[in-house]
Structure 1
Amino acid sequence: MAKPSLFPSFNTRVVLVLYRLIWAVCLPLVIFFLYWRGKKEPAYFKFLAERFGRHKLRDKSHIWIHAVSLGEVRSAVPLIKRLLLDDTPVVTTHFTPAGRSAIMRLFPDAVADGRLTACYVPFDYSAAFRRFFKAFRPVYGLVMEVEFWPGMIMSSRKYGVPLYLCNGQYPSRSFERDQQRFFSRAKIVPGFAGVMVKSELQAARFRMLGIDRVAITGEMRFDQPIPQAHIAAARTFRTAAMGARPVITMASMVVGEDVSALDMIAQVQSQFVQRGLEKPLFIYVPRAPERFDVVAEIIAEKSLSYAKRSDVLDALLQIKSETGNAKTDIAKIDINGLDIVLGDSLGEMYFYLELCDLAIVGGGFCPKGSHNISEPLCLRKPVIIGPNDYTIEFPAREALAYGVCLQLDFSQIIDQLINHPLQFASDEQMTAFLDAHSGGTAKTLAALDDFMHPTSR
């Protein structure tokens, strides 16, 4: 373990001065970028004052949680729900509109009565954070996952706000790359008051950077609430439209994977037909909404039959009805004759996952790295990921070890689907895995208490 060193070092201080100068010069360009992005997504440019840290002064001190976008918000949900049970209000900061709006949607009552405020994170310079801190007077701050910035850390230290990394990770590729750079996140990580990480592997990396206040708390996504309305809707839809047909959900598929993934589906369907077996139904869910129409075109080019979720189901995930008879309406669509249902919606991942017998999670079939697999595992669905899992070392390593996850490329998936059962993991294996890795929220709060009150335990 590296010995803790004086933070920040002389070299880091020099780079931070340059960083502040770059921010001063580039701020007009950043504002122009938000204005340009706002042409397509107006929410990017709305509430611009928040990005300068401008808010009305609050009467009470807040707990501050930074969750940059939707994925980090999902990680933070169990923690936010627990913190809202206490008297201290919570403020969450986000860079993207998706993160900000998700909080509004998930916690409407707490937002309405002022116990929870969602806003954009201040620009990464001291004056913006000074205004933000003056308005909310944070008791402490929690940064979710790995999205932290030099100005955020240094401003927190300057203005006396203890800042902790929560549900933290340092992916292997980023860690190795940052170690070799003159200046990187690795140089500012020691500015945290403490870090709470997902696994021993992650803890070892942070200790190598000179941090001695490290706690292993697991993955809070295993504690996130499951939307029961989505689960019920999925079970109803599967019974009505799919019967006993095997179903495979391909979730969070990204640019660079679609063509190969759809080629794989075409080969699987052809092999099943040749063997006289019932073809599986694939639920295909692109990661980005702007890909919905593009993927639909690729599916058509592959001569695969499909229907869009938006054509089949209404906003409440009920079968769209023209006759008033669900069986008649679903027969018109003939789901059982399709190869693919294209998931062209946001915020319904649990619905898509509950439909399936097996989940294939995207991102890892290209260099971008796999997306999180906690959601299907929480639903007790066996998971297949691609070769590039460096982005989810936890829980991928543990899931592989427990036998509830397989790591395959597309050619290997074809063999797996044709020659092996879809549900390759037993109930006992899934139960053992979930029992071993749940409770991250309670562990996080306990570690936070230890960090802030080291003599209380």
Structure 2
Amino acid sequence: MKKIRARLLFSAYSGLGSCLRLFVPPYLSWRAARGKEELRRYGERLGHASARRPEGALIWLHAASVGETMALIPLCERILAANINIVLTTGTVTSARLVRERFGGRLAHQYVPLDIGIAVRRFLNYWKPDLALVCESEIWPMRIIELARRRIPQILLNARLSDRSFQAWRRRKFFAREIFSCFTEVICQTDEDARRYKMLGAPRVAVAGNLKADIVLPAKNEELEHYRRAIGARPRWAAVSTHEGEELMAARVHRILRKRYPDLLTIIVPRHPERITAIIDRLRSKNYHFVRKSLGEVPGPQTDILLGDTIGDMGLYLRLTEIAFVGKSLAGEGGHNPLEPALAGAAILTGPNIDNFRETYQEFMKNDAARFVDDSTMLAGCVHHLLEHPEMRKKMIASGRKTAQSLSGALRQTFTILKPFLQPLTLAAQLNRANDRHG
């Protein structure tokens, strides 16, 4: 009976997707007008390929956005080193730009097809992947079922499941079992994530840790020194990965602290640079003096705010400060990962809304490596305290880096779990190269 209910629900989901197909082009055009899609590539959302499929073994990797893409970069490099082809799909303009800048033509990038039957089937018919690796919590029923029908192994990497998502799936446990049982393997960040996936029907579950703990964000030395010279000895702090509402909070903090530190510099790095026009309008309306990294501008003596409106430069922004507020935690929900700023050498401040990274923050709080703030006034107080007490700031930085390093090793463990799936593809790639040489 449960199987029948699950199949009826999936049929309804599939049918709804088919009904909505007519609305996809205007929807994508509307998103493109807001900077959330590349209009010239919207066919990819319907499964139409815009790149040539290379011959030989191919792995489909998927990362939703910039954070997940960054987490997959070291894994992509290892797979490419084994001469296995990759088609990497992402869901945002910013992540597409990051892939282009990092990999160039070494792999194929496509926007992920919408979870509509015809789009997913068209994508799979063209790319014919030998293995599908999906990052974090991208659970899309049509993709999962279509891969299972074709008997293509699919593995969830760096898997996590928030409280809200877990409860939602739990209410539809009969459907969850049909979906999660299709995964060949689920490689989780924490024991709690593993327990949840097991409860929802995943047959094979492992724990490897968080891939983001193995990321050391790069920064170009010349550019870093250029900005450091421009900033000089000015006191500064950063609000990174901010979401709507948090940029103005950071600006209010700047105004509060400027009474005590007239030469204060605030660095604001929005999570989605396509929002920059709206952010600029708000800052101008409040008479803040700002410069933009995307225009090659550097802070002058009168600059209040450095806007980090570029992709792939987080390593630069974090190395310009020793204090970082991590966004989507005051005005947003779920928070962002503190591991990257901790490894870059910043004392961590965050709002209370960190459900997506609760276990990570628990480790940080246990080691006095992060502090929680409830609003912009409290944030201003914490920034002031850390500016006034460098010894405490240094202690938090050291503890944060040590905590982040203790959580590392996920890449090595993940690669070990993936070896049985990668070895046949590596062998096929080697044979293909040998045939080419002797052809």
TM-score normalised by the chain length of structure 2: 0.85
C-alpha distance in 2, partners of 1:96/1:352? 22
- Return the offset for 1:172: 1.6
C-alpha distance in 2, partners of 1:394/1:188? 26
The correspondence for 1:371, drawn from 336, 354, 357, is 336
- Return the offset for 1:107: 0.5
C-alpha distance in 2, partners of 1:283/1:57? 42
CA contact (8 A) 2:94 2:311 kept: no
> In structure 2, what is the equivalent of residue 285 of structure 1?
269
- Return the offset for 1:136: 2.9
Which letter does structure 1 place at the counterpart of 2:417? A
Q: How does 1:77-92 map to 2 (within 5 A)?
A: 77-92=73-88
* Residue 448 (structure 1) aligned with residue 418 (structure 2): yes
> In structure 1, what is the equivalent of residue 366 of structure 2?
401
Which letter does structure 2 place at the counterpart of 1:444? T
- Return the offset for 1:26: 0.8
Please list the CA deviations of residues 345-377 of structure 1 after superposition, one character each: whole Å capped at 9, or x if unmatched.
333222111100111111100243312323212
Which letter does structure 2 place at the counterpart of 1:255? E
C-alpha distance in 1, partners of 2:246/2:53? 47
> In structure 2, what is the equivalent of residue 429 of structure 1?
399
Please list the CA deviations of residues 389-444 of structure 1 after superposition, one character each: whole Å capped at 9, or x if unmatched.
01222532222223222222233223223334362535652443233122221111
Instruction: Give the direction of change, closer, same or farther, for the CA distance of 1:292–1:109 in structure 2 (3 Å limit).
Output: closer
Which letter does structure 2 place at the counterpart of 1:172? D
Q: Structure 2: which 5+ residue stretches go unaligned? A: 424-439
CA contact (8 A) 1:175 1:186 kept: no
> In structure 1, what is the equivalent of residue 68 of structure 2?
72
* Residue 37 (structure 1) aligned with residue 31 (structure 2): yes
Which letter does structure 2 place at the counterpart of 1:237? Y
The correspondence for 1:61, drawn from 57, 61, 71, is 57
Instruction: Give the direction of change, closer, same or farther, for the CA distance of 1:429–1:43 in structure 2 (3 Å limit).
Output: closer
* Residue 193 (structure 1) aligned with residue 194 (structure 2): no
Percent identity over the alignment is 27
* Residue 411 (structure 1) aligned with residue 395 (structure 2): no
Residue aligned with 1:191, SS: coil
> In structure 2, what is the equivalent of residue 226 of structure 1?
217
C-alpha distance in 2, partners of 1:77/1:97? 17
Q: How does 1:20-419 map to 2 (within 5 A)?
A: 20-39=14-33, 41=35, 44-55=38-49, 58-110=54-106, 116-180=107-171, 188-224=179-215, 226-229=217-220, 231-238=221-228, 240-270=229-259, 272=260, 279-310=263-294, 313=296, 333-334=300-301, 337-409=302-374, 410-419=376-385
Which letter does structure 1 place at the counterpart of 2:235? P
Residue aligned with 1:84, SS: helix
Please list the CA deviations of residues 136-166 of structure 1 after superposition, one character each: whole Å capped at 9, or x if unmatched.
3322111111122000100010001111111
C-alpha distance in 2, partners of 1:182/1:197? 20
Instruction: Give the direction of change, closer, same or farther, for the CA distance of 1:164–1:395 in structure 2 (3 Å limit).
Output: same
CA contact (8 A) 1:149 1:185 kept: no
C-alpha distance in 2, partners of 1:185/1:245? 54
- Return the offset for 1:386: 0.7
C-alpha distance in 1, partners of 2:34/2:246? 25
Please list the CA deviations of residues 66-119 of structure 1 after superposition, one character each: whole Å capped at 9, or x if unmatched.
112323211211110111110221111223333333222211151xxxxx2111
CA contact (8 A) 1:64 1:90 kept: yes
Q: Structure 1: which 5+ residue stretches go unaligned? A: 1-5, 111-115, 320-329
CA contact (8 A) 1:66 1:142 kept: yes
